[in-house]
Structure 1
Amino acid sequence: MSAIPQYAVDLPEGHPVKVYLEENALIRTLLKQIIEIDISNDFETFFNVFNQLATVEKRFARKENQLFPYLEKHGWTGPSQGMWAFHDKIREHFKSIRECITNKDYFHIEAIIYDIADDLQGLMHIEVIRLFPNALELLSEDEWKEMRSGDEEIGWMLSEDPVPYPAIEAGETRREQRLPFSTKDRIRLNEGFMTGEQLNLMLQFMPVDLTYVDENDRVIFYNRGENRVFPRSAGVIGREVKFCHPPKSVDTVLQILEAFKDGSQDSAEFWINYKDRKIHIRYFAIRDYENNYKGVIEMSQDITDILNIEGQKRLLDWE
């Protein structure tokens, strides 16, 4: 099968579909190489090629978090349901090989590699004959350009980043118009829009205590939840943070603030025993895009039950 099908020949360089097809060519090359390697005699080469092939996870992540959501907006939900499950099947193959490597069980690796090769070849075939041509029919040029900016956050399998793809002018306006909900009276966040009620509810139900102290060392926010580790009341808003801690802790708090302000530190963490529970306390410096200090987030979490976790829990057991 040609690496670049006819429907994609005239696509501009850097277009998301063209990048996927370039990755297809790389995957085929890597599969050919890894199948020909004698693992027992040249494990290092196998390991290097395997790790490169495993970056297919970036490709899966782009499809699941970028391409599929755009297709869903146009009513095509099949890829999100069927192809995602196929991604997970291939992920399990990679996991099995890593377990074999850990256990130095090279005997079973070869069979799993052939399973990966068969599944990836089948997946790429479906992409080329159905997923990509249909996506090109459904999505607008502006949507592809929007998608590219999100693709950059996840990354590619390629050794070098694809050439830049044109950015949208006034992209946010067009993007907002295509959302399945109104953005009126919603707060514009870095990614997404929420009402004030939704934002408050999200913060309220987070299983952590959050307190925001601004650049003037005054408390401007805390989340109000029923299961807070440390009690807070509305009277704390506007209060200097040094008066919000017991005297024995004030010097430590002021030391953290000073280090955050002069840029020598960005975080600090502690863990204490409190009412027979283990509490993890962390401080994070908040800075704007120009690296100006804008305050500190204090986050406290009861990690007692987390510390007792062992093994895995992959099934829902509400009963």
Structure 2
Amino acid sequence: MNQFTNLPEGHPVRVYLEENQLIRGLMASINSIDIDKNPDEFKEKFKRLCLVEKHFARKENQLFPYLEQYGWTSPSQNMWAFHDDIRAIVKQARNLVESDEKESLMMVLQNLFRNLEHIMQVEEGRLLPRALEMLQVDDWKEMRDGDEEIGWMFDEAPTAYPAHVKDEYIHPSQDTKKRKLPFSLDGRIDLEQGHMLPEQINWLLKFMPVDITYVDENDVVIFYNRGEDRVFPRSAGIIGREVKFCHPPKSVDQVLMILREFKAGRRDEAEFWITFKGKFIHIRYFAIRDDEGNYKGVIEVSQDVTHIRELEGQQRLLDWE
């Protein structure tokens, strides 16, 4: 790994390699443990090994997007699928640990170790060397910021990169760093996490499978999304209307109580569920506050969860015909 020898501390690639060392150490340690004699030690080491999910998540959400910007999409298309295969083995091992099926567990663990070793060899032999060739210094600096949010397998965060940068989390609303984007910002609205055209925001809200109504800090309705299958009908006439006039008399007292509690800062959420026209409806109210905690209104979110309540088991594949 000569191409890795001069990497500064905290560099994302160096951190990946250090995690690989940790993974190999954990696998060797787990192999040497007598589960019957030292069950607690085994569970502690296995739990730490399961943190490989953070290693995978950083690659998928941090490293792969940068590689895509330079035209290398293979990791996103292929290595991600291999991550999911390992996740399935980890889940299988977890279930066996909980059920105390030691004989089957040891077989699954050996399969897990083989797969982890294989993917680490691919990382060290191809992925990370090529990433070092393709990405620029500023790319790695930006990547470190996002890595902080996902986390690492270590008990403590690695050394800051670059070393002179204070290692602290920056909230997205305070992050002013310019990043290379594959689209123009002309005409887009700058959101806390992204940039969207007004029509994209409208489509997002229109096709969202929930009813949303926004009441501002003056108790005036300023927005509702117009979906095709709203739970409760709305019309343009409610825009600019006081919210207390938008509810039937039998429920308006509860609405006013919610507003009082939200404004006073004593509550941030209210929840109801009812049967309406043969459907099971989940209704929630959320207080909206700015970064200083000042009350800025409330959103009402309603959803028909009849189908969701009926779901059982798992469905991981499309059932399209």
> Is the TM-score greater than 0.5?
yes
**Aligned-pair CA distance for 1:233:** 1.0
Q: Residue 156 of structure 1 aligns to a residue in which SS?
A: coil
Specify the alignment match of 1:235 in structure 2: 237
Match of 1:315?
A: 317
For residue 174 of structure 1, report the CA deviation from its aligned partner: 4.0
User: How many aligned positions are there?
Assistant: 312
Aligned to 1:297, the other structure's residue is in SS state strand
Task: Kindly provide the amino acid, as one letter, of the partner of residue 95 in structure 1.
Answer: K
Q: What amino acid is aligned across from residue 240 of structure 2 in structure 1?
A: G
Alpha-carbon offset, residue 173 of structure 1: 6.6
**1:287 alignment counterpart:** 289
Whether 1:134 aligns to 2:130 is: yes
Go from structure 1 to structure 2 and tell me whether the alpha carbon gap of 1:200 and 1:51 turns closer, same or farther (over 3 Å shift): same
State the shift of 1:246 in Å. 1.2
Map Cα deviations across residues 13-45 of structure 1 (whole Å, 9 max, x no partner).
222112111211211111111111122332222
Corresponding position: 1:121 with 2:123: no
The alpha-carbon deviation at position 88 of structure 1 amounts to: 1.1
Alignment of 1:8-27 (within 5 A): 8-27=4-23
> 1:225 is matched by which residue type in structure 2?
G
Q: Which amino acid aligns with 1:57?
A: E
Q: Distance in 2 between matches of 1:245 and 1:284?
A: 17
What is the aligned counterpart of 2:303 among 271, 278, 301? 301
Letter in 1 for 2:126: R
**In the alignment, which residue of structure 2 is the partner of 1:147?**
143
Structure 1 residues 300-309 or 44-53, which shifts more? 44-53
How far off is 1:101 after superposition? 2.5
Instruction: Structure 2: give runs of 5+ residues left out of the alignment.
Output: 167-173
The reply to whether residue 71 of structure 1 matches residue 73 of structure 2 is no
User: Structure 1 residues 291 and 73 mapped into 2: Cα distance closer, same or farther (>3 Å)?
Assistant: same
Q: How does 1:192-271 map to 2 (within 5 A)?
A: 192-271=194-273
Aligned identity (percent) is 60
SS of the counterpart of 1:118?
Answer: helix
CA–CA distance in structure 2, aligned partners of residues 163 and 298 of structure 1: 44
Alignment counterpart, residue 184 of structure 1, candidates 179, 183, 186: 186
- Aligned-pair CA distance for 1:7: 2.4
In the TM superposition, residue 67 of structure 1 has moved relative to its aligned partner by 0.5
For the residue of structure 2 that corresponds to 1:282, the secondary structure is strand
Please state if 1:112 is matched with 2:118: no
Distance 2:51 2:177 in 1: 34
Q: Which letter does structure 2 place at the counterpart of 1:102?
A: E
The partner residue of 2:77 within 62, 66, 81 is 81
CA contact (8 A) 1:67 1:147 kept: yes
| Partner AA of 1:215 in structure 2 | E
Residues of 2 paired with 1:171 and 1:45: CA distance?
Answer: 41
User: Matches of 1:145 and 1:248 in 2, distance apart?
Assistant: 57
Where does structure 1 lack aligned partners over 5 or more consecutive residues?
none
**Cα gap change, 1:291 to 1:163, in 2 (>3 Å):** farther
Paired residues of 1:146 and 1:171 also in contact (CA < 8 A): no
Q: Which residues in structure 2 correspond to 1:27-66 (within 5 Å)?
A: 27-66=23-62
How many angstroms apart in 1 are the aligned matches of 2:177 and 2:10? Answer: 23
Amino acid of the structure 2 residue aligned with 1:259: E
**What's the offset of the Cα at 1:146?**
1.6
Distance 1:24 1:238 in 2: 58
CA positional deviation for 1:9: 3.1
Q: State the shift of 1:202 in Å.
A: 1.0
Report the secondary structure of 1:301's partner residue: strand
Q: Could you tell me how far 1:160 is from its partner in structure 2?
A: 0.3
